[in-house]
Amino acid sequence: MNCATAATALASPLPSPTSLLSLNSSDVVEVKPNQNGYKWRLVLAYDGTRYSGWQYQESPPTVQCAVEKALIQTTKLQRKDLQLVGASRTDAGVHAWGQVAHFFTPFNYENLDRIHAALNGLLPSDIRLREISPASAEFHARFSVKSKIYHYKIYSDTVMDPFQRHFAYHNMYKLNIAAMRDAAKYFIGKQNFSAFENASHNDRVTDPVKHIFRFDVKEMGALLQLEVEGSGFLYRQVRNMVALLLQVGKEAIPPDIVPHILASRDRRELAKYSFYLPPHGLCLVSIDYNESHLLPPPDCPAKSFGMHYTIRKCKVVFY
C-alpha cells in the first residue's frame, strides 16, 4: 500500500457493522487443519445491570449470550464451534471492566481491527470489547488465571448520588473506616472460606481454600472503594466479605469477629452477624495470568485495541 492509498484509508468514515461482516480475502487467511484451530483472547467491559450474569442461559439475557450472538454473526460459525469460555461467572447485576474470555476459529486473521470494530458494532451499548488478541494453545481464560481483582463501591452519605445508583451501594450510616481496615486484614492469606460461600445453582465442586493477596479499603470523598485481590473466589464470597466489613464499620460487631467466622467454616455462622448485599456495587476489574500463557503464537496478527479514524482536511482556496 502506497502513501496515497494509506491516507485515503485513514480518512475513510467508520464502516457499518453490516459492511464489516463481509470480510475481505486479505482479512482471513489459511485454514488450520487441527481440531480446535486458532484461539483468540477477548477483554470485555460491561454494565451488568440488565443481565443475569455472564454465564450462558437459554432464556434470561446474559453477557455470554450477547457476545456469542455477535461472534456468530461475524465469524459465520456456530456456538459449538466457537467454544466461548469466560474467566469469571459474574453474578446477575455485577459489572466488569476486565472480564476475559477466549474462543476458537478454524481460520486465522491477518488483521484484528476489522473484527474488533465489527463486534462492537453488533454488541449492545452496555457491552464493549476492549481488546482482542491471538492466544497460545496453553492459554485458558479460566484455568490460566493467577489472580483476580474485584472492587465493591459504597456511597456513604445521607442522599444517594443518582449517577452512582447503578454502580455503588447506598449506605446512610457513619462508618468506622479504621475498624473496617483492621477487619479486612484477617482475610489476607491462604484460608478456607467455606463460611463466606453461598450455595451455588450449578453442580460445580469448588475448592474452598483461596489465597487473598490484599484487601484495601479506600476513601474517595463520599465513595468508599473496597479492593480485594485473590487467587480466586467462591460464589458470592466478595459480597459476603464486604457485608461483614460494613457491619464492622457500623460498629455493630468488632473486627476480630472475622477469624471466628472463618474458623467455623459454616455459612450459618456468618448469617448471625451479616446481611444480604446487592450485586450492583461489585465490579470485576482485572485478571492476572501466567505470563508464559500470554505469549503470542507465531504467524498471528498483533492484538487490537480498536481503530482510530481521522478526517480528511478540506483544501479551501482563498482569494
Q: At 35, is the secondary structure helix, strand, or coil?
A: coil
Environment class of 124 (CB within 10 Å of its CB; exposed 0-12, middle 13-18, buried 19+): middle
The rounded distance, in Å, linking the Cα atoms of 122 and 159 is 38
Q: Would residue 200 count as lying in a domain? A: yes
Catalytic residue, chosen from 91, 126, 256, 266, is: 91
Residue type, 234: L
| Residue pointed to by grid coordinates 462492537 | 120
Residue type, 225: Q
pLDDT at 90: 96
pLDDT value at 24 more than 50: no
Q: Would residue 235 count as lying in a domain? A: yes
Residue range 156-196, pLDDT digits in tens: 999 999 999 999 999 999 999 999 999 999 999 999 999 99
The conformational region for residue 53 under phi > 0 = left, psi -120 to 50 = alpha, else beta, is: left
SS3 content of the chain, % helix, strand, coil (to 5): 30, 25, 45
Residue range 92-112, pLDDT digits in tens: 999 999 999 999 999 999 999
Q: End-to-end CA distance of the chain, in Å?
A: 36
Residue range 211-227, pLDDT digits in tens: 999 999 999 999 999 99
CATH code of 125's domain: 3.30.70.580
Residues 113 and 166 in one domain: no
pLDDT at 17: 43
Residue type, 196: F
C-alpha cell at 82: 466457537
Q: What is the mean pLDDT of residues 283-305?
A: 94
pLDDT value at 30 more than 60: no
Torsions phi, psi of 223, nearest 5?
A: -90, 130
Q: What is the mean pLDDT of residues 45-68?
A: 94
CATH code of 167's domain: 3.30.70.660
Say whether 91 is catalytic.
yes
Contact 119, 80 (CB under 8 A): no
Q: Would residue 5 count as lying in a domain? A: no
User: Of 143, 173, 195, which residue sits at a domain end?
Assistant: 143
pLDDT at 269: 97
DSSP state of 319: -
pLDDT value at 258 more than 70: yes
Contact 186, 256 (CB under 8 A): yes
Output the furthest CA–CA distance in the chain (Å, rounded).
86
Residues 154 and 197 in one domain: yes
Residues 150 and 275 in one domain: yes
Q: Would residue 185 count as lying in a domain? A: yes
DSSP state of 179: H
Residues 160 and 266 in one domain: yes
C-alpha cell at 161: 448520588
Rg (CA), the chain: 23
Residues 194 and 136 in one domain: no
Q: At 222, is the secondary structure helix, strand, or coil?
A: coil
Q: At 174, is the secondary structure helix, strand, or coil?
A: coil
Contact 30, 301 (CB under 8 A): no
Q: How many domains does the chain have?
A: 2
Q: Which residues span the domain enclosing 92?
A: 15-143
pLDDT at 204: 62
pLDDT at 40: 98
The rounded distance, in Å, linking the Cα atoms of 281 and 225 is 9
User: Of 143, 178, 201, which residue sits at a domain end?
Assistant: 143
Percent of the chain at pLDDT > 90 equals 79
User: Of 100, 119, 143, which residue sits at a domain end?
Assistant: 143
pLDDT bracket for residue 60 (50, 70, 90): confident
Q: What is the mean pLDDT of residues 242-264?
A: 98
Q: Would residue 1 count as lying in a domain? A: no
Q: Would residue 317 count as lying in a domain? A: no
Residues 172 and 191 in one domain: yes
pLDDT at 318: 61
What letters, b where the CB count within 10 A reaches 16 and e where it falls short, cover 147-162?
bbbbbbbbbbeeeeee
Range list of H helices, the chain:
3-11, 17-21, 63-75, 79-82, 113-122, 177-185, 237-249, 257-264, 267-271
| Residue pointed to by grid coordinates 474517595 | 220
Residue range 107-143, pLDDT digits in tens: 999 999 999 999 999 999 999 999 999 999 999 999 9
